[in-house]
Chain A
Amino acid sequence: MAARTGGRFDLGRAATADAAAAVLPVRHVAGVRTIDYAPARLNPQPSRSYYFWMMAPAIVVLAAISLYPFFWLVWMSLHNVEVGAGPDTFVGFANFERLFTRDRKFWNGWSLLLQYSAMCLSLQIVLGVLLAVILNGSRYEKILVTVILMPMMMAPVIAGLVWYYLYNSTFGWYHWLLQSAGILGETSIVGSTSTAMLGLVIVDVWQWTPLITLITLAGMKRVPRDQLEANMVDGAGELRNFFAIVLPNLYPFLLIAILLRFMDNFRFIDVALTLTGGGPADATNILPVYLFDVSFQYFKLGRGAAIALTLLLVTILLGMLLVRLFEGPQSRRADMGSEG
């Protein structure tokens, strides 16, 4: 090994100095041949610019397709932009004012979106967790889980079309089923204001309950076994074990599932557009559907932008919550690994 003296390699004793001398400046200090010790050049730690260039392409593309549209959106929300209605005029916050004070459909859209999400999520959580508890550790777990997750692979718009067919009041099998069971009359489930929302919820539950099951199953595999067993020794039966140990360990997972599904309800309106298009009589006109209509049916782009910004704002707030949770279950597990 090279003997290091005062930040220099002493070449007189350095065994590896020849290699170093090839790249490093050689000097003579007090008659001893030395080289300057340059850690930055010997150390293989790459410089930051290298990483910067690796990051740059993705960041540039992302900025172009997200930041730029965002500022455009802000600009539009402050203007009266309407396709085929003359030049855009600056209107200040008029678009927002109209939304918050006069637009009943806007508030109705939010309220319906919340109702819709609440119904979907409560059903999905109950069914999904129940399914996960039953399937967990079962002999057929693998094959059954594979089967139940099939609906998730289907394009939402196709799912919408299939269910449109199933709900049809003259030839739909599910309509026949519901009618025969005495639940429905002649009108299709999506044809009546009182049941249309339920019709959408059923499709969402059908398609996305498996996600809750998958998340719950992943969570259940992480429930520390020795806690379960300690609780059993302490005197708990299976049911108490579930509520005292399993469920608290599942909360963070369920919270993530809820947030993800909630945000997807902002994103995906394919089913609603296909099945009801917001009707009948606005009974399923959830906010994103309303936004779609304002922008692409009435072409009131300025108002649309204002609605879009409110949606974005809520998404970002939820996203912050979610990101905080991301650091949750996985890393918390790591902490607990040592103490069980």
Chain B
Amino acid sequence: MASRDVVAYRSPLTTALHVAAGLFVAVYLAWTILPIFIMFVSSFKDLLEAFKLPAVGDWGGVLVFFDFTPTAKHYFNLFGQLNFATYFRNSLAAALGSAVVSVVLGSMCAYALSRIDFRGKKDLFFWIISTRMAPVVAVMVPLYAIFRNLELVGTLPGLILAYTTFNLPFAIWILKGFFDNVPYAIEEAQMCDGATRLQAFRSILPLVAPGIGAFLVLCVLFAWNDFLFASIIGSGGAKTLPVATRELVQPQNIQWGSIMAAGVVTTLPMMLLGLLIRRYLVTGLTMGAVRE
């Protein structure tokens, strides 16, 4: 048995370092939270109050920031006049749709890839991962042309398919790692007991279910936060939250209050989802290279 952490001995130097570390973390936390906090508070401010700023160098004037009467009018504006309810639904449908398609097709493919070996498997695998890494702007033009020919531009199915370009390879790649960790002996035992292949496959699904669930959420997150695909493939009939928010920036009139409110509406659900799959976040964001 041993303590949880490697032993540490106190000295004046370590005490000083501890204080410095605490300060550093405090400053970092402030810097991390401030933009989100300002976005949140500003979304409840009237336009004039939002633009109030102390004079340059007037450090005491910071409190002006809190000098406002909260109003929810920007939120009413978003959902009342600006049609954000539709955009929210679009975002949700596109993100969820592509996540489900990707995870279903991806887990089947990942399972097969994890269970057999064939010539060129490595190359196939690399091709799959490289489609995920390909810069969106690079493939946007031909993709747009194809989607236009298929009359998918500006439709939800089109957007779902577009998001699948990055979610499907992600799902395959990540889930293969998960299936690799399930010993084949479990399926062999199942099949010896009389299960069919499909039943055997189903029998190991509960073992990978938490992972599959987490990566489904992560696929939703990737798709939800996308801007480029949505602005080009989804433009028109399938406008999503990021695109709609961006459109609030107009040359003559930038509706900051509504933008901040839209930012909150777009960001908050994803932060909650992020917390939900906290344990799988590193694995997901590093394409499975690093596990917690």
Contact-size category for B: 35 or more
A29 within 8 A of B: no
Most chain A CB within a 10 A radius of its CB, from B124, B289, B291: B289
Q: Can you name 13 extra interface pairs (CB under 8 A) apart from A69-B139, A179-B56?
A: A51-B116, A59-B124, A61-B164, A70-B142, A72-B145, A73-B141, A149-B274, A154-B263, A210-B32, A214-B285, A256-B286, A274-B249, A288-B138
Q: Which of A3-11, A90-98, A187-195, A314-322 binds B?
A: A314-322
A263 within 8 A of B: yes
> What are the residues of chain B within 8 A of A257 when measuring CB–CB?
286
Query: Taking CB as reference atom, which chain A residue is nearest B31?
Result: A206
| Contact yes or no, B6 A228, CB < 8 A | yes
A-B contact number at CB 8 A: 285
Q: Which of B68-76, B79-87, B208-216, B219-227 binds A?
A: B219-227
Contact A305 to B141, CB < 8 A, known contacts A51-B116, A152-B274: yes
| Contact yes or no, B108 A57, CB < 8 A | yes
Most chain A CB within a 10 A radius of its CB, from B136, B224, B285: B285
A112 within 8 A of B: no
Query: Taking CB as reference atom, which chain B residue is nearest A301?
Result: B141
| Contact yes or no, A155 B224, CB < 8 A | yes
| Contact yes or no, B32 A55, CB < 8 A | no
Shortest distance from the beta carbon of B138 to any chain A beta carbon, whole Å = 4
Query: Taking CB as reference atom, which chain A residue is nearest B54?
Result: A176
> What are the residues of chain B within 8 A of A274 when measuring CB–CB?
246, 249
B51 within 8 A of A: yes
Shortest distance from the beta carbon of B53 to any chain A beta carbon, whole Å = 5
Question: Do most interface residues of chain A lie in helix, strand or loop, or is the interface mixed?
Answer: helix
A165 within 8 A of B: yes
A99 within 8 A of B: no
Most chain B CB within a 10 A radius of its CB, from A269, A311, A323: A323
Question: For chain B residues 97-112, which have a beta carbon within 8 Å of chain A?
Answer: 105-106, 108-109, 111-112
Q: Which of A31-39, A42-50, A114-122 binds B?
A: A42-50
Contacting residue for A238 out of B8, B224, B262, CB 8 A: B8
A219 within 8 A of B: yes
Residue interface mask B133-145, A partner, CB < 8 A = 1: 1111111111101
| Contact yes or no, A137 B4, CB < 8 A | yes
| Contact yes or no, B53 A173, CB < 8 A | yes
B115 within 8 A of A: yes
Question: Do most interface residues of chain B lie in helix, strand or loop, or is the interface mixed?
Answer: helix
Residue interface mask A295-324, B partner, CB < 8 A = 1: 110000100110111011001101110110
> What are the residues of chain A within 8 A of B136 when measuring CB–CB?
267-268
Contact A215 to B116, CB < 8 A, known contacts A291-B137, A295-B137: no
Determine the distance from Cα of A44 to Cα of B185 in the docked complex, in whole angstroms. 11
A247 within 8 A of B: no
| Contact yes or no, B115 A51, CB < 8 A | yes
| Contact yes or no, A176 B139, CB < 8 A | no
> What are the residues of chain A within 8 A of B155 when measuring CB–CB?
none
B42 within 8 A of A: yes
| Contact yes or no, A163 B35, CB < 8 A | yes
> What are the residues of chain A within 8 A of B225 when measuring CB–CB?
153-157
Shortest distance from the beta carbon of A78 to any chain B beta carbon, whole Å = 13
> What are the residues of chain B within 8 A of A305 when measuring CB–CB?
141-142
Residue interface mask B250-292, A partner, CB < 8 A = 1: 0000001001101100110011011100100110011111111
The 8 closest A-B pairs by CB, nearest first: A44-B191, A308-B138, A58-B109, A72-B142, A155-B225, A69-B142, A51-B112, A157-B227
A52 within 8 A of B: yes
Determine the distance from Cα of A217 to Cα of B124 in the docked complex, in whole angstroms. 32
A20 within 8 A of B: no
A110 within 8 A of B: no
B67 within 8 A of A: no
| Contact yes or no, B65 A180, CB < 8 A | no
Query: Taking CB as reference atom, which chain A residue is nearest B226?
Result: A155
Contacting residue for B137 out of A50, A171, A269, A329, CB 8 A: A269
| Contact yes or no, B116 A48, CB < 8 A | yes
A127 within 8 A of B: yes
| Contact yes or no, B138 A291, CB < 8 A | yes
Contacting residue for A288 out of B33, B135, B262, CB 8 A: B135
| Contact yes or no, A155 B274, CB < 8 A | no
Contacting residue for A158 out of B137, B141, B266, CB 8 A: B266
Determine the distance from Cα of A78 to Cα of B285 in the docked complex, in whole angstroms. 36
| Contact yes or no, A173 B65, CB < 8 A | yes
17 A–B contacts, CB within 8 A, in A order: A51-B112, A57-B108, A58-B109, A69-B142, A135-B25, A151-B36, A153-B225, A156-B225, A162-B39, A165-B259, A180-B56, A206-B35, A215-B286, A232-B6, A269-B137, A270-B228, A322-B289
> What are the residues of chain A within 8 A of B50 when measuring CB–CB?
171
Determine the distance from Cα of A204 to Cα of B130 in the docked complex, in whole angstroms. 23
Query: Taking CB as reference atom, which chain B residue is nearest A164?
Result: B249
> What are the residues of chain A within 8 A of B34 when measuring CB–CB?
173
Contact A134 to B21, CB < 8 A, known contacts A57-B108, A148-B28, A312-B134: yes
Contacting residue for B133 out of A166, A170, A307, A319, CB 8 A: A319
Determine the distance from Cα of A215 to Cα of B137 in the docked complex, in whole angstroms. 27
| Contact yes or no, A173 B38, CB < 8 A | yes
Shortest distance from the beta carbon of A74 to any chain B beta carbon, whole Å = 9
Contacting residue for A218 out of B241, B249, B292, CB 8 A: B292
| Contact yes or no, B290 A166, CB < 8 A | no
Contact A151 to B35, CB < 8 A, known contacts A165-B42, A170-B51: yes
> What are the residues of chain B within 8 A of A50 when measuring CB–CB?
197
| Contact yes or no, B143 A180, CB < 8 A | no
A106 within 8 A of B: no
> What are the residues of chain A within 8 A of B53 when measuring CB–CB?
170-173, 176
Contact A59 to B28, CB < 8 A, known contacts A73-B139, A173-B38, A311-B135: no
Contacting residue for A315 out of B130, B226, B266, CB 8 A: B130
